[in-house]
A and B are shown apart, each in its own frame.
Chain A
Amino acid sequence: MRMLLRIAPITVAVALALAGCGSGSTPEAAPTDVPSKTPSKAAEPKPAESGTPPPKRADADLVIWADGNRAPVLEKFGKQFGDENGLRVAVQTLDFAQLRPSFVQSAPVGQGPDLIVGPHDVLGEYVENGLVDTVDLGADAANYSDVAVKAFTYQGKIYGLPYAVEDVALITNTALVPKVPTTFEQLEKTALELKKQGKAEIPLALPMGETGNAYHPYALFSGSGGYVFGDKAGEPNVDDLGIDSPGGIKAAQNFAKWAKEGLISVDVTADIAKQKFVAGKVPFLIDGPWVVADLAKASSSYEVSPIPSVNGKPARPFVGVQGFYLSHFAQNKTLARTFLLDYLNTKEAQQALFEADFRPSAYQAVAGAVTDKVNAGFLASAQQGVPTPSVPQMASVWEAWNKAYVLVLTGEAAPDKAFKDAAATIRAAIKASR
């Protein structure tokens, strides 16, 4: 019995780490604030160090939870709204990766916020858990880009108010490549040529890493003819998985070929890709607006453009949409809805949000007036993208798919086998979750 007592604390800690999980962040995800960048990474809890308890709701009339990036902007907004109406508005700052799990834990017990900021890909989980309310945008929905509205729609209803879109685009080092290629085949040729000449250390910096990453390559996957879920009346059809469809297998073979000729590599992580690009050793980088701040340090100039078509087929990246969710357990729901629909749902507010946050705006009138070339490049890329599916089943998809990419890129498994196995795993997981 004595030894049992000694071991108990460890097991309890582990049990807590598991059961209380959900809070914390991986150091990897922390610095970037990349919402949709592989949600599997962005939302994972801090290992072992069992969760810090979720924060308590601030004492105010309207409480908004946001991550460190967005909080200052919203604070300004909230203050203005509060001053105009004589209300107390509190913006609580949470670690980005803590937002989702904290909300899931706090909302049902009345400690959650009225509004929470977040990417659209957690929508499925929020709805399945009954945590968020629909927001009836009515005719105002037309003010937002289609991809944004679609992303915030779940089972035919709109939840939350979108405000920004983000996605990966092609970032070209114009010192190495003066003219941005218009087809992927051109890009491939140019990149490999530069590598041969010793001018490029990484021909195409596509963030991958030893743990795999199915998010960044999606544009090339879809350009090769693959898809994740089929479409059923505008909703992702989880019974139609496209990873091992003929197009998906073709894509896997393409990736194997690109890895073999040295165009892409599993060794390139997001950090390495960024560093080497800044150092001028990379002609092409595929990444999102979150790297722009770092690219300011780059010695050479760069251009942002949509990822070129593969074999003539458009390359559609995953688009993440940022927005505000209305908690079903909001203490002041009418006020929260008033703030959302009467205040944030205006061009002035959306313009200010855009200016404070570099992400391209989801509000068409704001996005249309953008003059910044970099921003316009990401926006153009988003316009040909598809929203990352927000169904909870995506969790199983990322996990297996990330690994399939590793197997393909290392040549550990034949491309068709790797993707077929991944698809089988995903189907089994989806079946088990029913």
Chain B
Amino acid sequence: MKVGLIVKVVLLGLLDALVISALPGLVSNEHWALLVGTVLATAVLNYLYLSRRRIPAKFLVPSTVLLAVFLVYPVLYTVFVAFTNYSTGHILSKEQAVERILASGVAPVEGGPTYKLRILLGQDDDVAFLLTDENGKQHIGNDEGLTSTDQGLHPYRQLNLKEAQQYDTEVNLLSVPTDDGEIKAETFTRAKLYKRTRSHEGSNDTITDTTTGLTYRAVRGSYVSDSGERLTPGWRVPVGADNFQRIFTNEAIRGPFLKIFAWTCGFAVISVLVSFAVGLLLALVLGDKRMRGQKIYRALLIIPFALPSFITALIWKGMFNNSFGLINNLLHADIPWLLDPTLAKVAVLIVNVWLGFPYWFVVTTGALQAIPPELKEAARVDGASEVRVFGRITLPLLLAMTVPLFILSFAFNFNNFNVIYLITGGGPPMVGAQTPAGHTDLLITYTYRLAFGGAGTSDYGLASAISLVIFVLVAIVSFAGFRSARCGDGALS
């Protein structure tokens, strides 16, 4: 009892300490909602565990919190992102974007003066510049302007680099106004004359560029001029159902969609069924008591499952190479495994089955042992052949046990990014497709490339929208699968 109390106090104390240490960060970053939520949740947890009652809640609440953090939050965040323009060029918040746009409107004056710079510190911790111009004349510069050093440096004192470095932000922000522009530090030892060309009007949210005279208005996460010129960067902004509209109306996305969807379903179904069949066959064979060295065989058969699929997939890719691959070399053949659309599909299926059958082997081995031997015995006594016993007794019972795993396995293979991506990269390419679509592309690899364009551009909004659509597709298929499985259940019992 005592020990339990100590453990409780220590754990709660740690939790509280953790939360308290996180509070200043939350306050300074102005995450108010998160702050309130964290404090409330901590208070509730403290109350629950310190009170003697509320026994069920002691078990339920932690799991609910974990569920919320690891499941609900990512799901909600994905849904949220799906309705924004979060993508390359739109990754900043609006304040950051405005600040950045204004900053890029500050440019050194070409051919303007350069100053040698020393950093000065005043009595109120205010930073100033000691500027030496090209003629060797010294000036003190602060946010009011330039003054001469005739009276010495008073009230400032000079800092060395280490000291000056403490004031990096102040040095970076300080600009000394002059008639020709403003003097800003470039490094800790050099300052230049800069000119500011952009200004932000907060009242009507426009940015004006004085060199071009253009005015830019905020439109859907970017400042755009009347003639359509756009300032970079933009910022994140909700765009409604635009991403979903793009999926369904954009010809480039819709084009090969059906073909790819069909192959995705085919890939998932064939992978599951064949891996299951191979796994079951091996389980039956190795489950036979007459079989010797069962343990060694079982251990060997688990290997594909135990090796990281990243590595084995790449090894398979090498083995399938047309001229230099092991398979063609052994067969003395010239089979274009990864270059022919049909053969490439066969190749990825072979690899996927190879990767997947040990799972089914393990599952079915266990399930077979769970089938009561009396049932089979009874059937044999009734004179049923072994094949009939298997078909009428073993298989139906086995299927009833493994249906949930079928659904899971299907959903996994439906989104089996690794195998496709590492072996064929979606290829061989479809001839004449308006997007870089390939014959072995799954929905996930295809849309991944659309949303992330290989590299360089990343469209998180579109990607989230697509993953939601895929979720719906998988959910529908799985639901249908469960429904029919339940019918099967009924027939059995």
Q: Is A212 an interface residue (CB 8 A)?
A: yes
Bound form: Cα–Cα A61–B432 in Å: 54
A332-B165 in contact (CB<8A):
yes
A15-B468 in contact (CB<8A):
yes
Residues in A whose Cβ lies below 8 Å from that of B412: 10
Segment with Cβ contacts to A, from B278-286, B375-383, B469-477: B469-477
Given A7-B475, A212-B427, A425-B434, CB of A27 within 8 Å of CB of B310: yes
Bound form: Cα–Cα A133–B343 in Å: 50
A328-B100 in contact (CB<8A):
yes
Bound form: Cα–Cα A268–B467 in Å: 35
Main secondary structure of the interface of B (DSSP, over half): helix
Chain A interface: which size bin? 35 or more
A396-B455 in contact (CB<8A):
no
B233-A392 in contact (CB<8A):
no
A342-B189 in contact (CB<8A):
yes
Q: Is B78 an interface residue (CB 8 A)?
A: yes
Q: CB < 8 Å: which of B322, B411, B422, B449 contacts A267?
A: B322
Segment with Cβ contacts to B, from A123-131, A143-151, A226-234, A347-355: A123-131
Which residue of the partner chain A has the closest CB to B455?
A: A43
Q: Is A296 an interface residue (CB 8 A)?
A: no
A18-B451 in contact (CB<8A):
yes
Q: Could you say which of B161, B185, B464, B470 has the most chain A C-beta atoms within 10 Å of its C-beta?
A: B161
Q: Using an 8 Å CB-CB cutoff, how does the interface string of A384-400 with B read, 1 for contact, 0 for none?
A: 00000000111110111
Residues in B whose Cβ lies below 8 Å from that of A428: 251-252, 434-435
How many chain B residues touch the partner (CB < 8 A)?
A: 96
Q: CB < 8 Å: which of A8, A17, A268 contacts B71?
A: A8
A395-B454 in contact (CB<8A):
yes
Which residue of the partner chain B has the closest CB to A110?
A: B29
Q: Is B339 an interface residue (CB 8 A)?
A: yes
Main secondary structure of the interface of A (DSSP, over half): helix
Which residue of the partner chain B has the closest CB to A276?
A: B324
A341-B186 in contact (CB<8A):
yes
Shortest CB-to-CB span from B69 to chain A, Å, is 12
Which residue of the partner chain A has the closest CB to B404?
A: A6
Residues in A whose Cβ lies below 8 Å from that of B81: 19
Residues in A whose Cβ lies below 8 Å from that of B88: 125, 128-129, 392
A15-B74 in contact (CB<8A):
yes
Q: Is A266 an interface residue (CB 8 A)?
A: yes
Q: Which of A43-61 contact B (CB under 8 A)?
A: 43-45, 47-48, 61
A44-B431 in contact (CB<8A):
no
Which residue of the partner chain A has the closest CB to B410?
A: A7
B187-A18 in contact (CB<8A):
no
Q: Is A87 an interface residue (CB 8 A)?
A: yes
Q: Which of B322-365 contact A (CB under 8 A)?
A: 322-324, 336, 338-339
Closest 9 CB pairs of A and B: A130-B233, A395-B456, A403-B429, A43-B455, A40-B454, A395-B453, A211-B425, A338-B187, A15-B467
A-B contact pairs, 20 of them (CB 8 A): A6-B408, A7-B478, A22-B458, A39-B456, A104-B91, A108-B92, A121-B456, A128-B232, A129-B92, A133-B103, A210-B425, A210-B428, A211-B425, A335-B168, A396-B453, A398-B455, A413-B432, A417-B431, A425-B434, A429-B453
